[in-house]
Amino acid sequence: MNILTNLKTIASRSPWLYRINAGSCNGCDVELATTALIPRWDVERLGCQYCGSPRHADIVLITGPLTRHVRDAALRLYEEIPDPKVTVAVGVCPISGGIFRESYATCAPIDQYFPVDVNIPGCPPRPQAILDGVAKAIAIWRERL
Amino acid sequence: MSTQTALLISVLLFPGGLFALAFGLALKGADRRFAARLQGRVGPPLAQPLFDLVKLGFKRTMVPLTATNDTIFLAVPLVGLAAMLHAAAMIPIAGVTATSPALGNLLVLVYLLAIPGVVLMVAGSVSGSTYGAIGFSREMALMLAYEGPIVLVVAAVALRTGMAEGQVVTFSLAEIVRHQQVHGANLFDPVLWPAFLAFVFFYPANLGIVPFDIPEAETEVLEGPLVEYSGPALGLFKMMSAVKAVVVLGLGLALFFPVAPSGPLGLVVWAVEMLVLMLLGVTAVRVGIGRMRIDQAFAFFLKWPLLAAVASLAVVVVA
C-alpha cells in the first residue's frame, strides 16, 4: 500500500497537457501556447508537456464558448482521452459565454457537457492564473490516480 | 557461471537490460534539461522520463475500434523493446565489457537497429488512424534514406579493421574495439572521416530527433505512429526509444572512439562520452534548428551522407 502511494506521488509529477479549442477567439490559446505554459514560465519543471495526441493526455485545457458547430467533435475528442483525467476550463467563455453569451451559436456554459474540475476566469486569464489553475488540476489528478 | 547465465545477465541486467534502460532514461532526462537551459528555462528534473513511465503505468490502454488487429497492435511495442534489449547487450563498453560472440556480430546489430523503425511502421498502419498511416509512409521513406549510409559506414569500418588485421573483413565488434585500443581510435584515421561524417547525420535520423523527427512530428501528424497508443503500451515505446539512444550512441563510440581506461573508471568515462555525444550531437542541434520536410530529408540523405559513406568505402578499398 505504501509503495503504491509512493508510485502515485511519482506518477503525479508527469501531467501531460492537451488543448481543446472549442471555438475560442485564440486569445486564451496564445496565452497557453506562448506566455503561460511552455516558453516563458516553463511548466515543464512541474513535468508538464504538451502532447499531440488526445490518447496521451492527462490534463485537458478547454478554451472557448463551445460553439454548436464544434460541440460534437469536442465531446468525441474528450471521450478519446483515457482515464484518469482532469478538465480545466480556461478563460471566461467556457464559464458563461463571455462576450459571446448572447449568441445563438454557442453552448456555454460548458459544464452542461463536460465535468469541469477547475475554472480559470479571465479574458484572457493572466499567465499566473493559468499556472495556478494547472497546479490545482495536478493536485486533483493526484487524488484520482 | 554457465554461458546461458552470462548471456541472460548481459541481456537483462548489464550492459543491456536494466542498465541500458536506466542509462537511456537518464540520457533523455539530461537532453530535456539541457534543451530547457539553452532556451532560458528551468527544465524538468533529470528523472522526468522515469516519472513519465510510472505515470503511463497508471493509465488505461485503449485499443481503437479502427485497429485492424488488436493482438498485433499490442504486441509490436514488445517486439521493438526486445530487439533493443538484445542490441544493447551487444554494445561493447571499451575496457569494461566485450560483445559475446553468441549474441551475434555487427551485421546482426545493423538488422536489430532497423527493427524499431519497422515496429513504428507496423504500429502506425495497424492502428487504422489516418495520422498513423502518414507516419508510416514518412517512416518508410526516412528509413530507405538512412539505411544505405549506415550499412556502408559499418562496411567501411569492418573493411578497414579487417585489412589492418590481415584478414579481408571483420564484423566482430569485440575485434574492432580491440584493434582500436591497440592502434588508436578510428576517429583519428583520416581514411574513415567521411564514414564518421555519415554516421553523425545518421544518428539523429535513427533516433527520430529534430530535424529528422518527421514521422513523429507532433505538430503536424500528432506523433504519427504513436497517435493511438496510450498507457502501458505507450510506455513500452518510450522504453524502446530510451534503450535505442544507448544502442545508437554506443555503436558510434564502439566504431569510432572506444577509448577508456579499464575497470569501473572506464564505465564512468564511457558514460561521460555518451552524455557529451547526446548533448552536443542531439540536444544542441534540435534546439537550434527546425524540422525538415520529408522530401528535403530524403534528398539530403541520398546526397551527402550517402556520398560520404560511398567515398569512405572507396578510400578504404584503395588505401
Domain count, chain B: 1
Within-domain flag for A140:
yes
Residue of B88, B83, B94 lying closest to B174 (CA atoms): B94
CB B287 within 8 A of CB B209: no
Gyration radius of chain A's alpha carbons: 15
Q: Given the C-alpha cell 551527402, which residue does it identify?
A: B304
User: Is B7 a residue whose pLDDT tops 80?
Assistant: no
The whole-number average pLDDT for the span B306-319 is: 78
Over residues A2-39, the pLDDT tens digits come to 888 888 877 878 888 888 888 888 888 888 877 666 66
- B65 interfacial to chain A (CB closer than 8 Å): no
Within-domain flag for A115:
yes
Within-domain flag for A2:
no
DSSP structural state of residue A26:
S
Q: What is the dihedral of CA A23, A29, A32, A36, to 10 degrees?
A: -130
Contact yes or no for A11 and B41 at CB 8 A: no
Stronger pLDDT, B2 or A139, i.e. the higher one: A139
CATH number at residue A50: 3.40.50.12280
Domain count, chain A: 1
- B52 interfacial to chain A (CB closer than 8 Å): yes
C-alpha cell at A93: 467563455
User: Is A120 a residue whose pLDDT tops 80?
Assistant: yes
Band (pLDDT 50/70/90 cuts) for residue B1 is low
> What integer pLDDT is reported at residue A88 of this predicted model?
92
Surface-to-core class of residue B65, CB atoms within 10 Å of its CB (0-12 exposed, 13-18 middle, 19+ buried): exposed
Within-domain flag for A108:
yes
**Angstrom distance (rounded) from CA A45 to CA A63:** 23
Within-domain flag for A3:
no
- A42 interfacial to chain B (CB closer than 8 Å): yes
**Angstrom distance (rounded) from CA B109 to CA B193:** 22
**Angstrom distance (rounded) from CA A55 to CA B131:** 13
- A10 interfacial to chain B (CB closer than 8 Å): yes
> What integer pLDDT is reported at residue B212 of this predicted model?
75
Domain assignment of residue A82, given as a range: 13-144
Q: How much is the pTM?
A: 0.85
Over residues B89-103, the pLDDT tens digits come to 888 877 667 667 777
The whole-number average pLDDT for the span A103-116 is: 87
CB A129 within 8 A of CB A96: no
Within-domain flag for A90:
yes
Within-domain flag for A8:
no
Over residues B64-114, the pLDDT tens digits come to 877 777 888 888 888 988 888 888 888 887 766 766 777 778 888 888 888
> What integer pLDDT is reported at residue B265 of this predicted model?
76
Residues of A in contact with B62 (CB under 8 A): 55, 80, 82
CB B16 within 8 A of CB B88: yes
B 71-100 → A contacts, CB under 8 A: none
Residue B29 Cα to chain centre, angstroms: 16
Domain assignment of residue B310, given as a range: 3-318
